[in-house]
Amino acid sequence: MKNYKKYFITAGKEPFIPRKWREKPYMNKLCTVFSIILALCCPVYCFLMIEYLHFGSELRLLSFLSRGTIPLFGLLVCFFVYSLLLLLLKKIWYANLASVLLSMIIGLVNRFKFSSTGDYFYPWDIRQAGNLGELTRFTSFSLTLAAVIVMVGGICLVIVSVLPNTELPFTFQVRFAAFIIIAVCVFSSVSTPKKAEKVINSFGIYFEDTALQTSNYEANGFTGAFTINLLSANVSEPQGYGREEIENILTGFEEKEASEDFASPDIILILSESYWDPRLIKGSEYSENPFENFDAITEREGVISGRLFQTGFGGGTVRPEFEIITGLTTDSLPAGSVPWRYIEENTESYITTLRDIGYETYAVHPYFSRFYDRTRAYPLIGIDNLYFAEELEAIEAVTPEYKSVRSYVSDDSFVEYLEYFLENERSDAPRFIFGISMENHQAYLDKYEDLDMEVSCAGLSDESLNILANFANGVRNADIALGKLVEYIENRERPTVLVYFGDHLPSLGANYAAYLESGTIADIYNRTKEEYEFMQSTPFLVYSNYGFSGESRQLHEGKDNNITSYNLMNAIFELIGAPKTKLCSFLSDYAGAIPYYNSRLGITPSEDELYFVLAHRMLTYDRINVGEKYSLR
């Protein structure tokens, strides 16, 4: 045993290379040079590994690497992180191990999220790490052999760097001082928006890229896009922001009381998870109509329906949710962030307006309460009664049904819960119920053990067809539940209004698979204005069992309506004669100037339209936690 100890020395004490070789002068120099080369190669390899996992193919990676100074920016970011790790950890192989593992984890998380939602990994997603266990239930994804080989190569690099076991010849005090100096110098160079903008512009990268994250991550790679998102994570103060500017924006807009014929109807606002018409996938055919009830209801006299434009795709329910309820815009917030985290005090919303005139307000969602910071934020925007999965399970009058292998409460049971809250009235007060369904949430692959509706589509791979079929069957279940809910409302004596909408399109496979394979979308990175609108719009309908007492500037009877998420409830208030705030009046004029708009629609506003776009963003800034709340005084 003694003979072998000199060849297997504990890491951190001696080199792994046999001592009799290491003691030779030339070998010492060779090990030092070898270690320096590995230290220089490691951040380069980590950069290439992250970007390969991000782009998913050699051709797309090579195309990115040919974009001049843009990839150089991402590479320098990797060198900066590596240098800090090396100063902290001292040993080169420790720093290599930490860098490779960190890069691998980030690359896999980004690939996982994109496969799940069609969206990328953002800095603020880190705050959702506590929900990772539940999030992994939403999707599954596989890695290519090439991606596995790339990651194995990173591990091999670490193993090789263990052999010389080289470390920095400095004390901890010296290394820590160098760590602080480097960190301070880098952070001071980007400490203000102007400084940061100057730095990234020198590499051909711009903060404007963050307006559309698809093109941001495509043009700047993961490392560059993630970094500029990090640099712009704080909500920047709009140019000219102040009390006077806010007052100028709202000049001429007055609060309005409810009309004389306002019936104080119960209002049911339903966000139906991924509710979207699968028949829009080119070449798809169905053994029955998955939108049968929606189609029939929208043919009725007095029903309003059309396209709702919003900022989600494949996921991010919370963003259209925020806009629907508050009338504010997520365009002024970091892309992919959770907007409820910017609400830290009581904030005016469509719901507070109803609560102030005597409405009882409810939120009903048959899933965990910890998602998206809802339990903290909902009371601040006027919702007094919160019923998530934990509270709903205690209601003995409803026995929840689970139709899929994902164990999501069915839409049929969801409607039973809504009926329960409408029937079990605590008082004669009118009710506002905001409901978020869950059954049709991804992941769709093999979601249902038995499919009631057959689906076919030429051009789709077996996996994509499986996903489309399971999604379409989920939509069919949601549509059946919609028909049940409308029938219930129709038979109520109390005036009731139903507002029903989908929050976003489904991703339908990794990398927009079903859309591309079917030819529904030709190129996800070079879309036309029409294709942007297609991908950012979902169906909605408005149904009333008593007719509408007012008129809306934005909505009319029929199926050809187009409206944005932040203006939907404003238009409903006009139809029923509810009170209007100054923000409501502003939004009505906004819709008069540009009927629908958000930054993901590929629309270039005119000068007059741009005024409303910027004013809306300024009002949003004013009302969230970074603003002074001038518009609320």
Q: How confident is the model at residue 170 (pLDDT cuts 50, 70, 90)?
A: confident
Q: What is the pLDDT of residue 1?
A: 40
Rounded-to-10 torsion of CA 298, 302, 308, 313: -30
Q: What is the pLDDT of residue 9?
A: 32
pLDDT digits (tens, 9 = 90+) for 546-581: 989 888 989 999 999 999 999 999 999 999 999 999
Per-chain mean pLDDT for the chain: 88
Q: What is the pLDDT of residue 571?
A: 96
Q: What is the pLDDT of residue 142?
A: 64
pLDDT digits (tens, 9 = 90+) for 508-530: 887 788 999 999 999 877 888 89
CA distance 411 to 401: 9
Which residues, other chains included, contact 224 with Cβ-Cβ below 8 Å and sequence gap of 6+?
Answer: 70, 71, 73, 74, 77, 203, 205
pLDDT reading at 543 higher than 90: yes
Q: What is the pLDDT of residue 200?
A: 85
Q: Which of 346-360, 366-380, 443-457, 618-632 has the lowest mean pLDDT?
A: 366-380
* Of 416, 326, 313, 430, nearest in space to 364 by CA: 416
**Can you give the pTM of this predicted structure?**
0.75
Q: What is the share, in percent, of the chain residues with pLDDT greater than 90?
A: 61
CA distance 476 to 468: 12
Domains of the chain: 2-231 (no CATH), 260-632 (3.40.720.10)
Q: Which of 133-147, 184-198, 341-355, 423-437 has the highest mean pLDDT?
A: 341-355
pLDDT digits (tens, 9 = 90+) for 435-494: 999 999 988 889 999 999 999 999 999 999 999 999 999 999 999 999 999 999 999 999
Q: What is the pLDDT of residue 191?
A: 79
Q: How confident is the model at residue 217 (pLDDT cuts 50, 70, 90)?
A: confident
Which residue is it, tokens 């090439």? Answer: 146
Per this entry, what is the length of the chain? 633
What value does the mean pLDDT take over residues 38-43? 91
Q: What is the pLDDT of residue 21?
A: 58
pLDDT digits (tens, 9 = 90+) for 291-328: 999 999 999 999 999 999 998 887 778 889 999 999 99
Q: What is the pLDDT of residue 2?
A: 44
Q: What is the pLDDT of residue 195?
A: 82
Q: What is the pLDDT of residue 358?
A: 95
Q: How confident is the model at residue 212 (pLDDT cuts 50, 70, 90)?
A: low
pLDDT reading at 135 higher than 80: no
What value does the mean pLDDT take over residues 92-111? 92
* Of 379, 270, 389, 383, nearest in space to 324 by CA: 270
Whether the Cβ atoms of residue 93 and residue 162 lie closer than 8 Å to each other: yes
